[in-house]
Structure 1
Amino acid sequence: MNLSQTDADRQPSIRAYRSEAVAERKIDEFIGIIKGVLADGNVSQGEAEFLLQWMNSNREVAAVWPASVLYPRIESALADGALDSDEERKLLDLLLATVGGNTAPQNGESSDATTLPLTQPAPGIVFVARSFCFTGKFYSGPRDWCHQQVISRGGFPAEGITKKLHYLVIGEIGSRDWLHSTHGLKIQKATSYAAGGAPLAIVSEEHWMKHLNYHVE
């Protein structure tokens, strides 16, 4: 096979990689916009219209979480040209849920949209024949140690996020900055799969550690 043919064979995968990279940057931008909207704890009609306009202008990510969840809801809310108080409340709740809740008012702050989107209520953890993916940094030990805890209890570690994954465990160190970190992409993908019906639970290191005591070696 000559060089030109090899290059031609590679073009689809190169285009797909570049497209995925662009989509990831756009989603990160979109989440940043949502955080800005949530900064004052309210969603105005102008802000809702801006979000819808952004998604219409970036249709390549309209099918990617969180745009895929927000687009039809915002479009429906603005269908009559006005955002009433009930629609505003529901949209605010949806935006908060999309990027991770809001406990900041308890601390005298406006928003803490970087809160992790953990599965609620936190599920019980079964180790036998279950797959675990770890992301972030862990107080409990290095990644290899975490993997060994799973293996010794009958489970198996996974390196990436798939629809067949059972648990994504997020390390506590630096977790508040997940939206703008490398492991944030894993969390976004896991959240998207879970929202689509995949049996995937997102749990904290603390919750995972508690279950280690229930399943001793």
Structure 2
Amino acid sequence: MKNIDQEILKIYTAKSQADKAISSLKGILLGISLDKVINEKELNELMKWVIAHDSLINRNPFNEFMTVIKETISNKIPPSETIEDLYWLCQKYESDNYYYNAVTTDLQTLQGLCYGILADGIISNKEIFDLNSWLEENEHLNTYYPYDEIRSLIVSILSDNRIDEDERIVLKAYFNQFVKLQDIEIQKQIDSETSDVNISGLCTSEPNVIFTGKTFCITGVLKRGNRETLQNDIRKLGGIPTESISKKTDYLIVGDNGNPAWAFSCYGRKVEKALNLRKDGHTITLIHEFDFADIVDDLI
């Protein structure tokens, strides 16, 4: 009976697994092609990624993907044309998919995009600027994980219109949290480069806050005012202040703890809980206290 249940489960989940894989592949292709140069390491990672999804290989369009990639590796098709052909197949799959969910698919595309950027172990300036453009074009993903975190990180990195090596390593470290490459040597290289970087929750940049009926929690030591005053302001604007994080929490206001790593991340028990809830699909928005205070000042 248990084996029968497992077979039934496979039937029901195969479609969603294929949808997720196609969306991820679409992002990988975007990431690989951002810098307009497609190298051997990227093609090899693409091949290994498809092989890793061999359980789906008999489903259209995965069998087509494998054929196209194999022909490219054997030099029968130019790499740039291969990427275009594969991307076209992904788009065709989406347009034919009755159950297509735009937000879910775009989030899967974003994670695939980060995968593609990281595929050769190098993050170029052009890839960072082009990723920023993609994020700006997909602001409907605001409040969803990992869009807010990646957007905040990119905004911080590009704030001075220059990218230094420390910032590049921080970005690698963040991508490395949810991207695991099939190429063992490149993955080891990235793990080594980012071993000393600690990335926690990232507050959203340019937050859009709705107060009426929404639940707010505060964590950390506030540099502007105190918790009681801020909670009273939240009530005046129609919000509901709470003392603890839960699935019902809409916003977590994070006090500036003066940590020198603040430019990239914030820390704490409530932050960790909020981030875990975000990863599970709950749309809790993390906001730096200074950004939140500016919003409150404009409304009161």
The TM tier, using the shorter chain, reads 0.3 to 0.5
What is the TM-score when the length of structure 2 is the normalising length?
A: 0.35
* Structure (1 or 2) with the greater helix fraction: 2
What TM-score, normalized by structure 1, do the two folds share?
0.47
